[in-house]
Structure 1
Amino acid sequence: MKAQDIIKQKPYLIWYTKNYDGLSDEAVVEAVLNYGDFDDVQKIIQILGIKKVAEIFRKQAARPRCNYRPEIKNYFQLYFAKYAPLEVPPIRRASPGR
C-alpha cells in the first residue's frame, strides 16, 4: 500500500485534484494530519513509518508559510516529540589523559 492509496479511499481529504498517483508523500501527510481522523493518521504512519511522517511534518511546520492549522501543528509537535523524538548525537568527552 502507498500513501496515495489513503487519498484514493478518502478523496475528501484532498479535493483539489483527481490525480492521486501524482501526489507527493508530503502532500498526503499534510492532508491526513490536517483533515484525517486518528485512524487515517495511524494508517499513514504504518505506511511511511513514524520517523518519515515526523520528518515531513517538522520540515513543513518549520516553513514561514505553514498550511497546518495552529491546533493541529501544536498537537503533532507534542505527538512527534513523544513518539518520534529527534535523535541527538552523543556528546564526545575528552579522554582523561588529554
Structure 2
Amino acid sequence: MRSEALKQYIRDRGTLFWYSPEDKGETVTDELLVEHILNYGMMDDVRELFRVMGLGQVAAVFRNSISRSERRRNNYSPISLHYFTLLFNRYAP
C-alpha cells in the first residue's frame, strides 16, 4: 500500500504521466515512477523521491529494472543510467 505522501508526490508531478487519466495517476508502478522521475524530473524531484520512497527503495527499483533480461526494453537515457548507477553504487550499496 502506498503512503499518502507518495500519492501526493505523484499527484504533484502529474504532468510527467500525461498519457494517463488524471484519476489513474496514482496507479503507476514503482518501476514506472522511478524511471520517469530519474529520466525526466528535475533534481528537486529526485531528492523528494528519495525522501518519500527512501534512497534504498529507489535504488532497488532502479537496479531491478536495469538488470532484467536483454529482451526487455530499458528506457533510461544513457546519461541517467550512468549517473544513477554511480550514485546508487556509492550511497546505496
TM-based fold match above 0.5: yes
Runs of 4+ in 1 over 6 A off after TM superposition: none
What letter is aligned with 1:10? R
Q: TM-score, normalised by structure 2?
A: 0.82
Q: Does 1:17 align with 2:20?
A: yes
Instruction: With a CA cutoff of 8 Å and minimum separation of 6, indicate the structure with the bigger relative contact order.
Output: 2
> Which of 47, 71, 77 in structure 1 is aligned with 2:79?
71
What letter is aligned with 1:70? P
What letter is aligned with 2:42? D
Task: Compare the two structures and name the one with the higher helix fraction.
Answer: 2
Q: TM-score, normalised by structure 1?
A: 0.78
For the 8 Å contact 2:10–2:26, the answer to whether it is kept is: no
1:39 equivalent in structure 2: 44
**Number of residue pairs matched by the alignment:** 84
| Percentage of matched positions with identical amino acids | 38
* Structure 2 segments unaligned to the other structure (5+ residues): none
